[in-house]
Amino acid sequence: MEEKALKTKPSLEQISPAFGSSFLIRQYSDACNGEKADWHFHPELELIYVNGGSGRRHIGQHLGYFNDGDLILIGSDLPHYGFTDRLTGNKLETVVQMREDFLGERFFDIPEMAPVKRLLELAKKGISFHGEIKDRVGAKIEELLTLDQYDRLLGLLNVLKELANSEEYTVLNAQGVALAIDSKDNDRMNKVYQFIRDHFQEHISLDEIADEVSMTVPAFCRYFKKISKKTFTHFVNEFRVVHASKLLAESSKSITDISFESGFSNFSHFNKQFKLYTGKTPSAYRNSFKRVISPD
């Protein structure tokens, strides 16, 4: 499986709406058997509601962890990974995909659509919704599949309106996104990201990762910083912290064990990096979760 993933070449995802519809809606109730979509992009906006469960997000330059489901709006051509697999534990995943002009080139320019137009513009950085809006709108997104095509369109517009008027959201790439989507760059970055996902619990040397994509170390460092706006070490540490945050929320393992399981060989370094990325110490982060954590 890992070997296959490394050889997979990401490409522009082709999305075709069902006959008689201007947008595509799909729902998944079965686990993905551990397979996640590769680092990919598409010109369509994507609205995803994950009903329950927990997992990692990788959208643009953002790495994060969601707990108790997620509601995300991803703008056109914003690279991202899939969100659920057999370990996520979610009930359903509902995905709506649409072109920015799916209702005509000027539809969102009319005064009544101004809030939605601002929402779609902000979505280019990726948006995660939380709080009461997540569950309320998430239920409406799931309900879309039960409606006929006309009411489904009206329902989608109502969903976009509610999201546009909500203040319960977080912009995932607040500093903007400058990720290249050239096919050659995507192929290379997919290999890098997949290698990190497979080996983040081990020490990854610059020589090793540079060799993985057939580059010299100096060339790779310049390339990775240009594409991701982060150093390779910064990115790997961030990935490890996201994994650690998941373990802190879901398990009763000791913080020391979690630090080593997340790829940190030095406990004090783990504490420093965790606070740097989350603003909290690992123990404070764990205590912030009010739900009871059952022993392993």
- Each residue of 112-128: pLDDT tens digit? 999 999 999 999 999 99
Task: Kindly report the CATH number that applies to the domain delimited by 200-287.
Answer: 1.10.10.60
- Each residue of 56-98: pLDDT tens digit? 888 988 888 898 899 999 998 888 888 887 778 889 999 999 9
Q: How confident is the model at residue 28 (pLDDT cuts 50, 70, 90)?
A: confident
Span(s) in the chain for CATH 1.10.10.60: 200-287
- Each residue of 157-169: pLDDT tens digit? 999 999 999 999 9
Span(s) in the chain for CATH 2.60.120.280: 11-171
Cα–Cα distance for residue pair 263/203, rounded to 1 Å = 7
CA–chain centroid gap for 118, Å, is 21
Burial class (CB in 10 A: 0-12, 13-18, 19+), 74: buried
200-220: burial string, b at 16+ Cβ within 10 Å, e else: beeebebeebbebbebeeeeb
- Between the two ends of the chain, the Cα-to-Cα distance in Å is 28
Cα–Cα distance for residue pair 47/127, rounded to 1 Å = 10
Closest-CA residue to 281 (of 268, 290, 293): 268
pTM of the model: 0.74
Cα–Cα distance for residue pair 51/176, rounded to 1 Å = 28
Task: Kindly report the CATH number that applies to the domain delimited by 11-171.
Answer: 2.60.120.280
